[in-house]
Amino acid sequence: MVDFSGWDMPVEYPKYGGLMKEHLAVRSGVGVFDVSHMGDIRVHGPQALEAVQHITMNDASKLSIGQCQYSAMLYPEGTFVDDVIVHRLGQSDYLLVINAGTREKDVNWVTENTRSFDCIVEHLSDEYTQIAIQGPKGAATLQKLTNADLSQVKFYWFTHGMVCGLPNTLIARTGYTAEDGFEIYVPSDEATSARVWNEVMQAGEEFGIVPCGLGARNTLRLEGALSLYGHEISESINVWEARLDRFIKMEKGNFIGREALEQAKASGMLRTLVGLESVERGIPRDGYKVRDLEGKEIGYVTSGSYGPFLKKNVALAYVPPEFSSIDAEVAVEIRNQPVKCKVVPIPFYKRPKKQS
Amino acid sequence: MAYPTEYKYTKEHEWLKVDGTTGTVGITDHAQNSLGDIVFVELPKVGTEITAGQTFGSVESVKAVSDLYAPVSGTVTEINEALNTSPEEVNKNAHAAWMIKVTLKNPAEADGLLSAADYEKFAADEAGH
Protein backbone atom coordinates (compact mmCIF):
# COMPACT_ATOMS: atom_id res chain seq x y z
CA MET A 1 0.00 0.00 0.00
CA VAL A 2 1.18 3.54 -0.65
CA ASP A 3 0.00 6.89 0.57
CA PHE A 4 -1.63 8.68 -2.36
CA SER A 5 -2.78 12.18 -1.41
CA GLY A 6 -3.77 10.84 2.00
CA TRP A 7 -5.41 7.69 0.63
CA ASP A 8 -3.99 4.31 1.50
CA MET A 9 -3.97 2.62 -1.89
CA PRO A 10 -2.51 -0.53 -3.41
CA VAL A 11 0.04 -0.10 -6.21
CA GLU A 12 -0.83 -3.57 -7.43
CA TYR A 13 -2.59 -6.74 -6.33
CA PRO A 14 0.20 -9.35 -6.33
CA LYS A 15 -2.20 -12.11 -5.31
CA TYR A 16 -3.93 -11.76 -8.68
CA GLY A 17 -0.71 -11.60 -10.67
CA GLY A 18 0.40 -8.00 -10.29
CA LEU A 19 0.63 -4.87 -12.38
CA MET A 20 1.44 -6.35 -15.78
CA LYS A 21 -1.42 -8.82 -15.61
CA GLU A 22 -3.79 -6.11 -14.38
CA HIS A 23 -2.84 -3.84 -17.26
CA LEU A 24 -3.31 -6.56 -19.88
CA ALA A 25 -6.63 -7.65 -18.36
CA VAL A 26 -8.01 -4.15 -18.97
CA ARG A 27 -6.79 -4.13 -22.58
CA SER A 28 -8.20 -7.57 -23.41
CA GLY A 29 -10.91 -8.35 -20.83
CA VAL A 30 -11.88 -6.45 -17.73
CA GLY A 31 -10.34 -4.96 -14.60
CA VAL A 32 -11.86 -3.23 -11.59
CA PHE A 33 -10.43 -0.21 -9.77
CA ASP A 34 -11.35 1.38 -6.48
CA VAL A 35 -11.13 5.05 -7.43
CA SER A 36 -12.92 6.45 -4.40
CA HIS A 37 -10.11 8.94 -3.99
CA MET A 38 -11.65 10.92 -6.85
CA GLY A 39 -13.68 13.86 -5.54
CA ASP A 40 -17.16 15.05 -6.43
CA ILE A 41 -18.58 18.57 -6.42
CA ARG A 42 -22.22 19.21 -7.26
CA VAL A 43 -23.26 22.62 -8.55
CA HIS A 44 -26.99 23.17 -8.86
CA GLY A 45 -29.56 25.96 -8.83
CA PRO A 46 -30.91 28.54 -11.28
CA GLN A 47 -27.47 29.78 -12.44
CA ALA A 48 -25.59 26.50 -12.22
CA LEU A 49 -24.79 26.51 -15.94
CA GLU A 50 -23.45 30.06 -15.85
CA ALA A 51 -21.33 29.14 -12.83
CA VAL A 52 -19.90 26.01 -14.48
CA GLN A 53 -19.24 27.95 -17.69
CA HIS A 54 -17.36 30.59 -15.71
CA ILE A 55 -15.02 28.14 -13.99
CA THR A 56 -14.38 25.60 -16.78
CA MET A 57 -12.93 25.87 -20.28
CA ASN A 58 -15.13 23.45 -22.23
CA ASP A 59 -18.68 24.42 -23.22
CA ALA A 60 -21.08 22.92 -20.67
CA SER A 61 -24.06 24.43 -22.52
CA LYS A 62 -23.56 21.76 -25.17
CA LEU A 63 -24.27 18.99 -22.67
CA SER A 64 -27.57 17.14 -22.73
CA ILE A 65 -28.88 15.75 -19.48
CA GLY A 66 -27.06 12.44 -19.10
CA GLN A 67 -23.95 13.58 -20.93
CA CYS A 68 -20.49 14.42 -19.65
CA GLN A 69 -17.41 16.16 -20.98
CA TYR A 70 -13.72 16.40 -20.23
CA SER A 71 -12.84 19.92 -19.13
CA ALA A 72 -10.56 21.86 -16.83
CA MET A 73 -10.68 24.62 -14.27
CA LEU A 74 -8.05 27.26 -14.96
CA TYR A 75 -6.27 29.99 -13.09
CA PRO A 76 -6.45 33.49 -14.60
CA GLU A 77 -2.97 32.69 -16.00
CA GLY A 78 -4.45 29.94 -18.20
CA THR A 79 -2.77 27.20 -16.16
CA PHE A 80 -4.52 24.32 -14.42
CA VAL A 81 -6.39 24.31 -11.14
CA ASP A 82 -7.40 20.77 -12.10
CA ASP A 83 -8.88 18.76 -14.92
CA VAL A 84 -12.47 17.66 -14.36
CA ILE A 85 -15.26 15.64 -15.89
CA VAL A 86 -18.44 17.68 -15.95
CA HIS A 87 -21.65 15.63 -15.79
CA ARG A 88 -25.01 17.25 -16.45
CA LEU A 89 -27.31 15.58 -13.94
CA GLY A 90 -30.43 17.63 -14.55
CA GLN A 91 -31.83 20.80 -16.09
CA SER A 92 -29.71 22.98 -13.86
CA ASP A 93 -27.61 20.45 -12.04
CA TYR A 94 -23.95 19.51 -12.65
CA LEU A 95 -21.47 17.13 -11.06
CA LEU A 96 -17.74 17.84 -11.35
CA VAL A 97 -15.48 14.86 -10.78
CA ILE A 98 -12.09 16.06 -9.60
CA ASN A 99 -8.70 14.68 -8.52
CA ALA A 100 -7.81 13.47 -5.04
CA GLY A 101 -4.63 15.47 -4.68
CA THR A 102 -6.35 18.75 -5.49
CA ARG A 103 -9.62 18.13 -3.68
CA GLU A 104 -9.46 20.82 -1.02
CA LYS A 105 -8.06 23.38 -3.43
CA ASP A 106 -10.74 22.54 -5.99
CA VAL A 107 -13.61 22.77 -3.52
CA ASN A 108 -12.37 26.17 -2.34
CA TRP A 109 -11.84 27.30 -5.91
CA VAL A 110 -15.34 26.32 -7.00
CA THR A 111 -16.91 27.84 -3.90
CA GLU A 112 -15.01 31.14 -4.21
CA ASN A 113 -15.53 31.58 -7.92
CA THR A 114 -19.22 30.77 -8.08
CA ARG A 115 -20.26 33.13 -5.27
CA SER A 116 -21.74 35.71 -7.63
CA PHE A 117 -24.02 33.10 -9.22
CA ASP A 118 -27.35 31.91 -7.90
CA CYS A 119 -26.34 28.30 -7.27
CA ILE A 120 -25.45 25.86 -4.53
CA VAL A 121 -22.06 24.13 -4.32
CA GLU A 122 -22.02 20.82 -2.46
CA HIS A 123 -18.91 18.80 -1.72
CA LEU A 124 -19.97 15.16 -2.04
CA SER A 125 -16.61 13.36 -2.18
CA ASP A 126 -17.17 11.50 1.06
CA GLU A 127 -20.66 10.38 0.06
CA TYR A 128 -19.51 8.10 -2.74
CA THR A 129 -17.34 5.10 -3.38
CA GLN A 130 -16.33 5.26 -7.02
CA ILE A 131 -15.63 1.96 -8.73
CA ALA A 132 -14.27 1.77 -12.28
CA ILE A 133 -15.00 -1.32 -14.36
CA GLN A 134 -12.76 -1.04 -17.37
CA GLY A 135 -12.01 -3.01 -20.50
CA PRO A 136 -13.79 -4.50 -23.50
CA LYS A 137 -15.68 -6.85 -21.14
CA GLY A 138 -16.58 -4.04 -18.72
CA ALA A 139 -20.08 -3.60 -20.15
CA ALA A 140 -20.82 -7.33 -20.08
CA THR A 141 -19.61 -7.51 -16.48
CA LEU A 142 -21.64 -4.57 -15.21
CA GLN A 143 -24.72 -5.51 -17.23
CA LYS A 144 -25.12 -8.59 -15.01
CA LEU A 145 -25.52 -6.31 -11.98
CA THR A 146 -27.87 -3.63 -13.28
CA ASN A 147 -31.30 -3.19 -14.81
CA ALA A 148 -30.06 -0.24 -16.86
CA ASP A 149 -29.54 -1.07 -20.55
CA LEU A 150 -25.84 -0.29 -20.90
CA SER A 151 -25.88 -0.71 -24.67
CA GLN A 152 -27.88 2.54 -24.74
CA VAL A 153 -25.19 4.45 -22.84
CA LYS A 154 -22.66 5.94 -25.23
CA PHE A 155 -19.07 6.84 -24.35
CA TYR A 156 -19.05 9.94 -22.14
CA TRP A 157 -22.74 9.60 -21.32
CA PHE A 158 -24.28 8.28 -18.13
CA THR A 159 -27.51 6.95 -16.75
CA HIS A 160 -29.04 6.07 -13.39
CA GLY A 161 -30.17 2.59 -12.52
CA MET A 162 -30.32 -0.18 -9.97
CA VAL A 163 -26.83 -1.61 -9.37
CA CYS A 164 -26.39 -4.54 -6.98
CA GLY A 165 -29.80 -3.68 -5.54
CA LEU A 166 -28.87 -0.03 -4.98
CA PRO A 167 -31.47 2.22 -6.60
CA ASN A 168 -30.68 5.32 -8.63
CA THR A 169 -26.96 4.62 -8.96
CA LEU A 170 -24.96 6.88 -11.27
CA ILE A 171 -23.44 4.76 -14.04
CA ALA A 172 -21.09 6.67 -16.36
CA ARG A 173 -19.34 5.34 -19.43
CA THR A 174 -16.07 7.04 -18.53
CA GLY A 175 -12.65 6.01 -17.36
CA TYR A 176 -8.95 6.69 -17.27
CA THR A 177 -7.58 3.69 -19.09
CA ALA A 178 -7.99 4.57 -22.81
CA GLU A 179 -10.37 1.62 -22.91
CA ASP A 180 -14.14 1.25 -22.92
CA GLY A 181 -15.61 0.98 -19.44
CA PHE A 182 -17.83 2.36 -16.71
CA GLU A 183 -17.53 4.21 -13.46
CA ILE A 184 -20.22 3.72 -10.84
CA TYR A 185 -20.89 5.83 -7.77
CA VAL A 186 -22.25 3.92 -4.78
CA PRO A 187 -22.79 4.91 -1.13
CA SER A 188 -19.46 5.09 0.65
CA ASP A 189 -20.25 3.04 3.75
CA GLU A 190 -17.82 0.18 4.04
CA ALA A 191 -20.34 -2.66 3.97
CA THR A 192 -21.99 -1.41 0.77
CA SER A 193 -18.67 -0.66 -0.94
CA ALA A 194 -17.29 -4.09 -0.10
CA ARG A 195 -20.44 -5.84 -1.22
CA VAL A 196 -20.51 -4.05 -4.59
CA TRP A 197 -16.79 -4.71 -5.10
CA ASN A 198 -17.27 -8.42 -4.43
CA GLU A 199 -20.30 -8.64 -6.71
CA VAL A 200 -18.35 -6.96 -9.52
CA MET A 201 -15.50 -9.43 -9.01
CA GLN A 202 -17.96 -12.33 -9.20
CA ALA A 203 -19.76 -10.95 -12.24
CA GLY A 204 -16.45 -10.53 -14.06
CA GLU A 205 -15.07 -13.92 -13.12
CA GLU A 206 -16.06 -15.52 -16.42
CA PHE A 207 -14.12 -12.78 -18.22
CA GLY A 208 -11.03 -13.18 -16.05
CA ILE A 209 -11.56 -9.97 -14.10
CA VAL A 210 -8.69 -8.78 -11.88
CA PRO A 211 -8.56 -5.98 -9.32
CA CYS A 212 -6.22 -3.22 -10.52
CA GLY A 213 -4.08 -0.87 -8.45
CA LEU A 214 -2.56 2.55 -8.93
CA GLY A 215 0.33 1.10 -10.92
CA ALA A 216 -1.85 -0.24 -13.72
CA ARG A 217 -4.02 2.87 -13.59
CA ASN A 218 -0.88 4.88 -14.32
CA THR A 219 0.51 2.69 -17.12
CA LEU A 220 -2.92 2.40 -18.78
CA ARG A 221 -3.47 6.14 -18.79
CA LEU A 222 0.10 6.72 -19.96
CA GLU A 223 -0.34 4.45 -23.01
CA GLY A 224 -3.46 6.50 -23.76
CA ALA A 225 -1.51 9.75 -23.13
CA LEU A 226 -4.16 10.90 -20.65
CA SER A 227 -2.96 13.78 -18.50
CA LEU A 228 -2.21 13.39 -14.80
CA TYR A 229 -2.34 16.43 -12.55
CA GLY A 230 1.11 17.31 -11.21
CA HIS A 231 2.70 15.71 -14.27
CA GLU A 232 1.40 16.77 -17.70
CA ILE A 233 -0.81 19.49 -16.24
CA SER A 234 -0.19 21.76 -13.27
CA GLU A 235 -0.49 25.29 -12.00
CA SER A 236 2.54 26.26 -14.11
CA ILE A 237 1.56 24.60 -17.40
CA ASN A 238 -0.99 26.16 -19.74
CA VAL A 239 -3.58 24.43 -21.89
CA TRP A 240 -1.78 25.00 -25.21
CA GLU A 241 1.43 23.51 -23.88
CA ALA A 242 -0.45 20.47 -22.58
CA ARG A 243 -2.05 20.06 -26.03
CA LEU A 244 -5.54 20.03 -24.52
CA ASP A 245 -6.68 23.00 -26.60
CA ARG A 246 -9.37 20.92 -28.31
CA PHE A 247 -11.25 21.19 -25.02
CA ILE A 248 -11.08 25.00 -24.92
CA LYS A 249 -14.24 26.58 -26.27
CA MET A 250 -13.40 30.25 -26.78
CA GLU A 251 -16.68 30.86 -28.58
CA LYS A 252 -18.74 30.13 -25.46
CA GLY A 253 -17.86 33.50 -23.94
CA ASN A 254 -15.78 34.54 -21.00
CA PHE A 255 -14.35 32.12 -18.46
CA ILE A 256 -11.50 32.21 -15.98
CA GLY A 257 -8.19 31.87 -17.84
CA ARG A 258 -9.53 32.76 -21.26
CA GLU A 259 -7.73 36.06 -21.65
CA ALA A 260 -4.38 34.56 -20.71
CA LEU A 261 -4.92 31.70 -23.13
CA GLU A 262 -5.58 34.13 -25.98
CA GLN A 263 -2.41 36.04 -25.15
CA ALA A 264 -0.43 32.83 -24.81
CA LYS A 265 -1.62 31.72 -28.23
CA ALA A 266 -0.57 35.01 -29.78
CA SER A 267 2.86 35.01 -28.19
CA GLY A 268 3.67 31.41 -29.13
CA MET A 269 4.78 28.42 -27.13
CA LEU A 270 8.10 27.89 -25.42
CA ARG A 271 7.45 24.20 -24.81
CA THR A 272 5.00 21.54 -25.83
CA LEU A 273 4.04 18.07 -24.70
CA VAL A 274 5.38 15.24 -26.87
CA GLY A 275 5.32 11.48 -26.84
CA LEU A 276 8.70 9.76 -26.72
CA GLU A 277 9.68 6.20 -27.36
CA SER A 278 13.13 4.96 -26.44
CA VAL A 279 15.29 3.89 -29.35
CA GLU A 280 18.19 2.72 -27.21
CA ARG A 281 17.94 0.55 -24.10
CA GLY A 282 16.50 2.34 -21.08
CA ILE A 283 13.23 3.39 -19.51
CA PRO A 284 12.58 7.13 -19.41
CA ARG A 285 10.80 7.91 -16.15
CA ASP A 286 9.07 10.82 -14.42
CA GLY A 287 11.39 13.76 -13.83
CA TYR A 288 14.28 12.62 -16.04
CA LYS A 289 16.00 15.35 -18.03
CA VAL A 290 15.61 15.61 -21.80
CA ARG A 291 18.64 16.82 -23.78
CA ASP A 292 19.31 17.49 -27.43
CA LEU A 293 21.80 15.19 -29.13
CA GLU A 294 24.59 17.68 -28.33
CA GLY A 295 23.82 17.31 -24.63
CA LYS A 296 22.06 20.62 -23.99
CA GLU A 297 19.19 20.35 -21.52
CA ILE A 298 15.93 21.11 -23.33
CA GLY A 299 13.13 19.68 -21.18
CA TYR A 300 11.94 16.94 -18.88
CA VAL A 301 9.87 13.79 -18.74
CA THR A 302 6.48 14.23 -17.05
CA SER A 303 5.53 10.52 -17.06
CA GLY A 304 7.43 7.55 -18.38
CA SER A 305 7.35 3.79 -18.06
CA TYR A 306 7.52 0.51 -19.78
CA GLY A 307 4.16 0.19 -21.55
CA PRO A 308 2.94 -3.33 -20.76
CA PHE A 309 0.57 -3.58 -23.75
CA LEU A 310 2.80 -1.74 -26.22
CA LYS A 311 5.88 -3.58 -24.96
CA LYS A 312 7.85 -0.38 -25.48
CA ASN A 313 9.35 2.23 -23.21
CA VAL A 314 7.26 5.36 -23.63
CA ALA A 315 7.18 8.79 -22.04
CA LEU A 316 5.43 12.11 -22.14
CA ALA A 317 7.79 15.07 -21.99
CA TYR A 318 7.96 18.83 -22.36
CA VAL A 319 10.37 20.05 -25.03
CA PRO A 320 10.70 23.23 -27.13
CA PRO A 321 8.43 23.16 -30.21
CA GLU A 322 11.41 22.78 -32.57
CA PHE A 323 11.93 19.28 -31.13
CA SER A 324 8.29 18.25 -31.39
CA SER A 325 8.04 16.94 -34.94
CA ILE A 326 7.45 13.22 -35.34
CA ASP A 327 10.72 11.25 -35.49
CA ALA A 328 12.75 14.12 -34.01
CA GLU A 329 15.52 12.64 -31.88
CA VAL A 330 16.33 13.64 -28.34
CA ALA A 331 18.17 12.00 -25.45
CA VAL A 332 16.70 11.25 -22.05
CA GLU A 333 19.27 11.21 -19.28
CA ILE A 334 18.98 7.94 -17.40
CA ARG A 335 21.40 7.56 -14.48
CA ASN A 336 23.82 10.03 -16.09
CA GLN A 337 23.72 8.27 -19.45
CA PRO A 338 22.01 9.71 -22.54
CA VAL A 339 19.46 7.27 -23.96
CA LYS A 340 18.25 8.14 -27.43
CA CYS A 341 14.49 8.55 -27.88
CA LYS A 342 12.33 9.64 -30.79
CA VAL A 343 9.19 11.70 -30.90
CA VAL A 344 6.15 9.60 -31.74
CA PRO A 345 2.44 10.47 -32.16
CA ILE A 346 0.25 10.49 -29.06
CA PRO A 347 -1.76 8.74 -27.82
CA PHE A 348 0.66 5.82 -27.94
CA TYR A 349 -2.32 3.49 -27.75
CA LYS A 350 -5.77 3.84 -29.31
CA ARG A 351 -8.40 1.27 -28.58
CA PRO A 352 -9.77 -0.63 -31.55
CA LYS A 353 -13.03 0.69 -32.98
CA LYS A 354 -16.08 -1.04 -31.61
CA GLN A 355 -17.56 -3.85 -33.68
CA SER A 356 -21.20 -3.28 -32.72
CA MET B 1 11.08 -20.41 -2.86
CA ALA B 2 13.94 -21.95 -0.92
CA TYR B 3 17.17 -20.02 -0.52
CA PRO B 4 20.10 -22.21 -1.62
CA THR B 5 22.29 -22.89 1.40
CA GLU B 6 25.49 -22.82 -0.67
CA TYR B 7 24.84 -19.15 -1.58
CA LYS B 8 25.71 -16.09 0.49
CA TYR B 9 23.35 -13.09 0.71
CA THR B 10 23.43 -9.33 1.21
CA LYS B 11 21.01 -7.10 3.10
CA GLU B 12 20.44 -5.35 -0.25
CA HIS B 13 18.97 -8.64 -1.53
CA GLU B 14 21.70 -9.97 -3.81
CA TRP B 15 22.96 -13.53 -3.72
CA LEU B 16 26.53 -14.68 -4.31
CA LYS B 17 27.71 -18.12 -5.28
CA VAL B 18 31.44 -18.77 -4.97
CA ASP B 19 33.36 -21.35 -7.03
CA GLY B 20 37.06 -20.99 -6.26
CA THR B 21 37.93 -17.42 -7.22
CA THR B 22 34.77 -16.88 -9.31
CA GLY B 23 31.68 -15.30 -7.82
CA THR B 24 28.26 -15.39 -9.50
CA VAL B 25 25.77 -12.69 -8.52
CA GLY B 26 22.01 -12.36 -8.82
CA ILE B 27 19.06 -10.99 -6.85
CA THR B 28 16.98 -12.96 -4.41
CA ASP B 29 13.51 -14.31 -4.77
CA HIS B 30 12.37 -11.88 -2.09
CA ALA B 31 13.79 -9.00 -4.18
CA GLN B 32 12.09 -10.04 -7.41
CA ASN B 33 8.86 -10.53 -5.52
CA SER B 34 8.94 -7.03 -4.04
CA LEU B 35 9.89 -5.47 -7.36
CA GLY B 36 7.14 -7.13 -9.35
CA ASP B 37 7.29 -7.66 -13.12
CA ILE B 38 10.91 -7.01 -14.14
CA VAL B 39 11.24 -5.36 -17.53
CA PHE B 40 14.81 -4.12 -17.64
CA VAL B 41 18.19 -5.16 -16.30
CA GLU B 42 21.23 -2.91 -16.73
CA LEU B 43 24.57 -4.63 -16.21
CA PRO B 44 28.18 -3.40 -16.31
CA LYS B 45 30.53 -4.19 -19.18
CA VAL B 46 32.91 -7.13 -18.95
CA GLY B 47 36.15 -5.88 -17.43
CA THR B 48 34.48 -3.42 -15.06
CA GLU B 49 35.90 -3.31 -11.54
CA ILE B 50 33.18 -3.54 -8.92
CA THR B 51 33.51 -2.76 -5.23
CA ALA B 52 31.71 -4.46 -2.38
CA GLY B 53 28.77 -2.38 -1.23
CA GLN B 54 28.78 -0.15 -4.33
CA THR B 55 26.20 -0.22 -7.13
CA PHE B 56 27.11 -2.15 -10.27
CA GLY B 57 23.87 -1.90 -12.23
CA SER B 58 20.12 -1.64 -11.87
CA VAL B 59 16.99 -3.63 -12.27
CA GLU B 60 13.64 -2.12 -13.18
CA SER B 61 10.13 -3.37 -12.80
CA VAL B 62 7.21 -1.54 -14.39
CA LYS B 63 6.73 0.45 -11.21
CA ALA B 64 10.26 1.05 -9.88
CA VAL B 65 14.01 1.24 -10.39
CA SER B 66 16.28 -0.56 -7.96
CA ASP B 67 20.07 -0.42 -7.74
CA LEU B 68 22.16 -3.57 -7.73
CA TYR B 69 24.86 -3.69 -5.04
CA ALA B 70 28.05 -5.70 -5.34
CA PRO B 71 28.29 -8.31 -2.60
CA VAL B 72 32.06 -8.50 -3.11
CA SER B 73 34.84 -6.66 -4.95
CA GLY B 74 36.26 -7.97 -8.19
CA THR B 75 36.42 -7.78 -11.97
CA VAL B 76 33.42 -8.61 -14.12
CA THR B 77 34.28 -11.53 -16.41
CA GLU B 78 30.88 -12.35 -17.84
CA ILE B 79 27.37 -10.92 -17.92
CA ASN B 80 24.11 -12.76 -18.51
CA GLU B 81 23.20 -11.32 -21.91
CA ALA B 82 19.96 -13.32 -21.98
CA LEU B 83 18.50 -10.90 -19.45
CA ASN B 84 18.67 -8.10 -22.05
CA THR B 85 15.87 -9.74 -23.96
CA SER B 86 14.25 -11.86 -21.23
CA PRO B 87 14.42 -9.89 -17.99
CA GLU B 88 11.31 -11.77 -16.79
CA GLU B 89 13.59 -14.78 -16.14
CA VAL B 90 14.51 -13.04 -12.90
CA ASN B 91 10.87 -13.26 -11.80
CA LYS B 92 10.58 -16.85 -12.88
CA ASN B 93 13.67 -18.16 -11.15
CA ALA B 94 15.68 -15.53 -9.33
CA HIS B 95 18.23 -17.93 -7.90
CA ALA B 96 19.13 -19.32 -11.33
CA ALA B 97 18.89 -16.09 -13.36
CA TRP B 98 22.39 -14.84 -12.56
CA MET B 99 23.47 -11.37 -13.60
CA ILE B 100 27.28 -11.16 -13.50
CA LYS B 101 30.31 -13.32 -12.85
CA VAL B 102 33.34 -11.76 -11.20
CA THR B 103 36.88 -12.74 -10.36
CA LEU B 104 37.02 -12.16 -6.63
CA LYS B 105 39.57 -9.64 -5.44
CA ASN B 106 39.42 -10.83 -1.88
CA PRO B 107 37.52 -14.12 -1.35
CA ALA B 108 37.42 -13.47 2.41
CA GLU B 109 34.86 -10.70 1.76
CA ALA B 110 32.24 -13.40 1.19
CA ASP B 111 32.58 -14.53 4.81
CA GLY B 112 30.97 -11.32 5.97
CA LEU B 113 27.74 -12.01 4.05
CA LEU B 114 24.56 -13.61 5.39
CA SER B 115 23.83 -17.32 5.35
CA ALA B 116 20.61 -18.57 3.73
CA ALA B 117 18.93 -18.97 7.11
CA ASP B 118 19.96 -15.51 8.32
CA TYR B 119 18.91 -13.89 5.07
CA GLU B 120 15.56 -15.60 5.08
CA LYS B 121 14.91 -14.29 8.58
CA PHE B 122 16.11 -10.82 7.57
CA ALA B 123 13.85 -10.76 4.49
CA ALA B 124 10.85 -12.01 6.47
CA ASP B 125 11.38 -9.31 9.11
CA GLU B 126 11.68 -6.67 6.43
CA ALA B 127 8.52 -7.85 4.66
CA GLY B 128 6.68 -7.71 8.00
CA HIS B 129 7.30 -3.98 8.35
Per-residue pLDDT at A1: 73
The answer to whether A283 contacts B39, with C-beta atoms less than 8 Å apart, is yes
Structural domain harbouring A321: 270-344
- Distance from the Cα of B19 to chain A's closest Cα (Å) equals 32
Partners of B18 in beta bridges = B23
How far is it, in rounded angstroms, from Cα A95 to Cα A98?
Answer: 10
Residues A70 and A175 in one domain: yes
Q: What is the pLDDT of residues B31-44, one digit of tens each?
A: 999 999 999 999 99
* Domains: count for chain A: 2
In a domain, B47, yes or no: yes
Contact A344, A276 (CB under 8 A): yes
The answer to whether A281 contacts B37, with C-beta atoms less than 8 Å apart, is no
Per-residue pLDDT at A356: 47
Structural domain harbouring B110: 8-124
Per-residue pLDDT at B126: 83
Q: 10-residue block means of pLDDT along chain A (356 residues)?
A: 80 93 98 94 98 98 98 98 98 96 95 98 95 98 98 98 97 98 96 97 98 97 98 97 97 97 94 98 97 98 98 98 98 96 98 71
In chain B, residues 58-87 whose CB comes closer than 8 Å to chain A: 58, 60-63, 65, 84
Tally C-beta pairs within 8 A across A and B.
41
* B58 sits in which H/E element: strand B55-61
User: Does B45 contact A at CB distance below 8 Å?
Assistant: no
Q: What is the pLDDT of residues B60-106, one digit of tens each?
A: 999 899 999 999 999 999 999 999 999 999 999 999 999 999 999 99
The answer to whether A306 contacts B40, with C-beta atoms less than 8 Å apart, is yes
Residues A204 and A335 in one domain: no
In a domain, A8, yes or no: yes
Question: Which residue from A39, A65, A43 is spatially nearest to A56, judged by alpha carbons?
Answer: A43
Question: Among partner residues B60, B63, B65, which is closest to A11 by beta-carbon distance?
Answer: B63
A151-172 in b/e burial notation, b at 16+ Cβ within 10 A?
eebeebbbbebebbebeebbbb
Residues A141 and A287 in one domain: no
Residues A10 and A87 in one domain: yes
Task: Supply the CATH number for residue A322's domain.
Answer: 2.40.30.110
Contact A131, A197 (CB under 8 A): yes
Task: Supply the CATH number for residue B18's domain.
Answer: 2.40.50.100
